[in-house]
Structure 1
Amino acid sequence: MSGVRHVDVGGAQPYRIAIGDGLLRDGAALAEHVRGRHVFVVSDAHVAPLYALRVVDALQAARPDLRCIVSCIPAGESAKTLERFGELVRELADFGATRDACVVALGGGVVGDLAGFVAACWMRGIDCVQLPTTLLAMVDSSVGGKTAVDMPQGKNLVGAFHPPRAVFADTATLQTLPDRELRAGLAEVVKYGAIRDAGFLEWLDAHSEDLLARDADALAEAIARSCAHKAEIVARDPFERGERALLNFGHTFAHAIESEQGYGGLNHGEAVAVGMVCAARLSARLGLASDADATHLESLLTRFGLPVAVPAGLSSPALVARMRLDKKAAAGGLRFILWRGTGQAEIIPNVDEQSVAAVL
């Protein structure tokens, strides 16, 4: 298909990310990654009515022997639970899914995380193809093999690393994406500039209007550049034992906010925007970077229509308590991804809780 951009993710289990318009209709390309006859499509109540039948029809047109079923979960973070995971696994069992079955994750980050975790656990791991339909999922959760569900105590506490066989980011799906979800995805795009590419941050600044207007070329460029950054990091550190932690810039704050709000307030991208500003302000407070860098980041996020302050009603002690349980915390104390200015993120251990509370 012409006009498709590709990003290759290396490592022990390499795979390719395809980025372009109309990929969900390319049954031959999709079916290439299905080894057996069973295809279990997981989607949600918002996405399934728009695209599930299109994907199934495309697959079966290319491979008439395929048996495909669609499981539709409720939309939203509240569906990413162990209980929902159990329901999907039982559906796989009833389907008679074999060792060469393929789980297709059609939706945003919640669907990708949950369906990926199901694929990681069924028969100790079967194939998964990610079909992200939100900008946030295209540039973040669909790439890298992180899968998980939430618990009341915190976000993504139960999960596994399970790289997909392939990722297809169909940019046509972004035309039906609500404005709020588009902006949420742009927060994760901004993150890549913030942690390692000041030039990309300048590009985003210059193309902010095009991105908000859903210009196809601008979106495809932003997705490809974001995925290339993540692919480089993930290939070197697939299990987040070092450099990959940099991708969590702003996320320690964000996950605490999301958990404390019961996953019913800010969405993930919005919380990451707030978290990145908090991380930049904390960096300045600790003498690692200037307040001017934080102000520039805050200005760009505001231009994209994203929140930049901790929501009212959340107490600092409660948020700090959430952070102690965060996966990025260590035995020695709170660990944050901070920066020494734009494009220069670092892992900073043993951060003083009083400094964190002051920033909050």
Structure 2
Amino acid sequence: MAVIPVALAGREYDVVIEEGLLGRLAEAAAPFLKGYGAARRVPFVADTNTQRLYGESVAANLAAHGLAAEWFVVEPGEDAKTWGVLEKLCDWLLAMGVTRKDHVFALGGGVVGDLVGFACAITKRGCGFVQLPTTLLAQVDSSVGGKTAINTAAGKNLIGAFHQPSLVLIDPLVLATLPDREMRAGYAEVLKYGLLGDAAFFAWLEANGTKVLARDPVALEHAIATSIAMKARIVAEDERETEDRRALLNLGHTFGHALEAETGFSQRLLHGEAVALGMVLAARYSARRDEISVDDAERAARAIAASGLPASLSALGLTCDGAALVDHMRHDKKAEAATLPFLLLRALGEAYVARDVDLADIAAFLDGELAV
């Protein structure tokens, strides 16, 4: 068991990591279930998959403590993060009589967490919520830090709010039902923490990544706890990403989001897969600028490829050129006036924000990668 505090100005919440935690939900989240009982059901939001897998066990645990769940169920995938679904969810919460003192429970991956967090940010001008992440990506990344959002025609996650959860409960056992592809996609974010700020952790992952992906309990808890501890420190220093500190968490994302946009935010390229390839491109572009060696860039690429994640842009079979990918980048929410910051590497384990990147050079670099 690991408990990691996320310390923010004037408030703090815990991230608890323990096997079997979901089956002991009523005990683990007892302070956040006050106000519910015989007369009021506990509001849960899940996608169809997580509700099918865990709905009965959650209901049984709640029932043993005199509680019952009411479910708002969405379809899996990014299509749930829309204005229409958000409106229905907010109306449902209001019909449930949710107050500012209440807590809504988000059971699922990053899509469910993003949707619930944003709905709770705006319902009654802010009510509480508890994250119950069921994917590795959500466990190590999106469930912690308070970024919530929906997608619009203009792009992904462009409408949202910073709204921190009151508690994050992580049960590694739920990853047993996670498809291997989704597990690898989440592992990309674990690798990210090593590459952006912890060379020793990156080296540990090179040696132990197969154990993490095989869901070895000891290796998996270490990987999750180390990742969250780093994110917690960064979020505490720069909660709303107004400085460069929290921006480091976007390593691989500028390239990755462009690839997601080019592939239509579809199952063709999962978010974690896009981030993994984005980190390869960030490392190789850093080498192009002589900031890291080609050997180090290829070491990063090998670690990503060894985990079964995409490490070659040409392998995607895209029909666009570098300029088209750069056009997607211009719509990135991190764009500032006429500039676009890039997360690059000074060393493996040392990322930084570069604000002097020539987008024409990025396009030329991407043309080269597409041709390899």
Please tell me the TM-score bracket, short chain as reference.
over 0.9
Aligned to 1:28: 27
Question: In the aligned structure 1, how far is the partner of 2:45 from the partner of 2:340?
Answer: 36
Q: Is the deviation greater in 67-76 or in 226-235?
A: 67-76
State yes or no: 1:299 paired with 2:306.
no
Counterpart pick for 2:286 among 275, 283, 288: 283
User: Per the alignment, do residues 315 and 48 of structure 1 end up closer, same or farther by CA in structure 2, a change over 3 Å counting?
Assistant: farther
Task: Give the 3-state SS of the residue equivalent to 2:348 in structure 1.
Answer: coil
Match of 2:90 in 1: 89
Deviation at 1:29, TM superposition (A): 1.2
- Within a 5 Å distance, the mapping from 1:91-170 to structure 2 comes to 91-170=92-171
TM-score, normalising length: structure 1: 0.95
Answer with 131-140 or 276-285: which moved more: 276-285
TM-score normalised by length of structure 2: 0.92
- Give deviations 1:95-126, integer Å, cap 9, x for gaps: 22222221111011111111111111111110
Task: Measure the CA separation in 1 of the matches of 2:215 and 2:290.
Answer: 38
Give the letter for the 1:20 counterpart: E
**Where do 5+ consecutive residues of structure 2 fail to align?**
367-372
Contact 1:154–1:255 (Cα < 8 Å) also in 2: no
Runs of 5+ in structure 1 lacking a partner? none
Alignment map for 1:1-360 (pairs within 5 Å): 4-12=1-9, 13-26=11-24, 27-37=26-36, 39-62=42-65, 64=66, 66=67, 68-242=69-243, 243-264=245-266, 265-310=268-313, 311-313=316-318, 314-360=320-366
Label 1:34 to 1:350 Cα distance change in 2 as closer, same or farther (>3 A): farther
1:173-213 CA deviation, whole Å, 9 max, x = no partner? 01111000110111000000000000000100111221222
- The answer to whether the 8 A contact 2:148-2:161 is kept is yes
Aligned residue identity for 1:101? D
1:54 Cα offset (Å): 2.1
Aligned letter for 1:285?
A: R
Cα offset, 1:255, TM superposition: 1.2
Classify the secondary structure of the residue corresponding to 1:32.
Answer: helix
What is the alpha-carbon root mean square deviation over aligned residues?
A: 1.4
- Cα deviation, residue 335, structure 1: 0.9
Query: Displacement of 1:59 after TM fit?
Result: 3.1
What is the CA distance between 1:160 and its match in structure 2?
0.5
Q: Are residues 306 and 113 of structure 1, via their aligned partners in 2, closer, same or farther at CA, if it must alter by over 3 Å?
A: same
Letter of the 1:53 counterpart: E
Query: Is the Cα contact below 8 Å between 2:32 and 2:102 reproduced in 1?
Result: no
Residues 282 and 215 of structure 1, relative CA distance in 2, 3 Å threshold: same
Q: Is the 8 A contact 1:154 1:322 kept in 2?
A: no
Contact in 2 for aligned 1:273/1:307 (Cα 8 Å): yes
Residues of 2 paired with 1:343 and 1:167: CA distance?
Answer: 27
Q: Which residue of 1 aligns with 2:369?
A: none
Moved more, 187-196 or 83-92: 83-92
Task: State the SS of the aligned residue for 2:72.
Answer: strand
TM-superposed CA distance for 1:67, in Å, is 5.4
Q: CA deviation at 1:154?
A: 1.6
In structure 1, distance between residues paired with 2:240 and 2:117: 15
Q: Deviations over 1:42-97 (max 9, x none)?
A: 111111101123223323433x2x55311110111222112211111111122222
**Maintained 8 Å contact 2:208/2:219:** yes
| 3-state SS of 2:349 partner | coil
Return the alpha-carbon distance in structure 1 between the equivalents of residues 115 and 134 of structure 2: 15
CA distance in 1, matches of 2:84, 2:288: 42
Which deviates more from structure 2 when the two are superposed, residues 45-54 or residues 122-131?
Answer: 45-54
Secondary structure of the 2:42 match is: strand
Give the total of aligned pairs: 355
Distance 2:215 2:344 in 1: 31
Runs of 4+ in 1 over 4 A off after TM superposition: none
Percent identity of equivalent pairs: 48
Q: Which amino acid aligns with 2:215?
A: R
3-state SS of 2:16 partner: strand
Cα distance, 1:295 vs structure 2: 0.3
Kept after mapping to 2: 8 A contact 1:43/1:105: yes
**For 1:146-178, what per-residue CA distance to the aligned partner results, in whole angstroms no more than 9, with x for missing partners?**
101112222110110011000011001011110
Q: Which amino acid aligns with 1:22?
A: G
Query: Distance in 2 between the 1:118 and 1:359 partners?
Result: 40
**Residue aligned with 1:97, SS:** coil
